Amino acid sequence: MPWIVLLLLLPIGSIQSRRDWSMGHRPQFGYGPRYAIARFDGNIKGVVIFSQDHRQPLNISGKLTGLPPGPHGFHVHEYGDFRDGCMSAGAHFDPYGYRHGSPTARERHAGDLGNIIAQADGTATIDMTDSILQLRGHHSIAGRALVIHEKEDDMGLGGDEESLKTGNAGGRIACAVIARASNINN
């Protein structure tokens, strides 16, 4: 008989814990800033940090070293898979089926971030925002690849089919997985 009373009281404990959630004690899943990081550690070294507040543009910042001087295409690619080097990363991340374009184009691959510029000493500082890429939801970039290309991205204005797919940015000289991070302390 005492075990029947215990079984009847168990649901009350779960109701109590849910009531506490509704009284402001519930963890706020999905709100507040999110972070991700891409760490390059080959010949090209550095860290790129992604941060995003709920329903706000994505902030992208970082510093890279070891780059050949000049502009380099900078893109998010489909997969964080490097079994065959950077080529395993797939194409530019494009969940909407658009052609290649500039970061300011109305229609573009979501992963088209334009160019980064390496100085004569091989360093590039990154500080940009993007209103298409996300760190949450079905089209999150977490687990995908950040790729640096050998040439300048022509933003899809090169007048040929390859320009509309890749921006004629050439080979992939560095890649890193975009990994979720719980917090970033600068």
Q: Is 41 tagged catalytic?
A: no
Q: Is 75 tagged catalytic?
A: yes
Catalytic residue among 34, 72, 92, 144: 92
Q: Is 25 tagged catalytic?
A: no
Catalytic residue among 94, 130, 149, 153: 149
Catalytic residue among 34, 72, 144, 172: 172
Q: Is 172 tagged catalytic?
A: yes
Q: Is 77 tagged catalytic?
A: yes
Catalytic residue among 72, 77, 108, 144: 77
Catalytic residue among 34, 72, 75, 144: 75
Q: Is 53 tagged catalytic?
A: no
Catalytic residue among 94, 112, 130, 153: 112
Nearest to 64 by CA among 86, 30, 41, 80: 41
- Taking the C-alpha atoms of residue 173 and residue 73, their distance in angstroms, rounded to an integer, is 10
Q: Give DSSP secondary structure letters for 11-28.
A: HHHHHHHHHHIIIIIS--
> Contact at 8 Å (CB) between 156 and 164?
yes
Q: Is 92 tagged catalytic?
A: yes
Helix (H) or strand (E) run with residue 176 in it: strand 172-181
Catalytic residue among 109, 144, 153, 154: 109
Classify burial at 56, counting beta carbons within 10 Å of its beta carbon; exposed 0-12, middle 13-18, buried 19 or more. exposed
Catalytic residue among 100, 108, 144, 153: 100
Residues with catalytic function:
75, 77, 92, 100, 109, 112, 149, 172
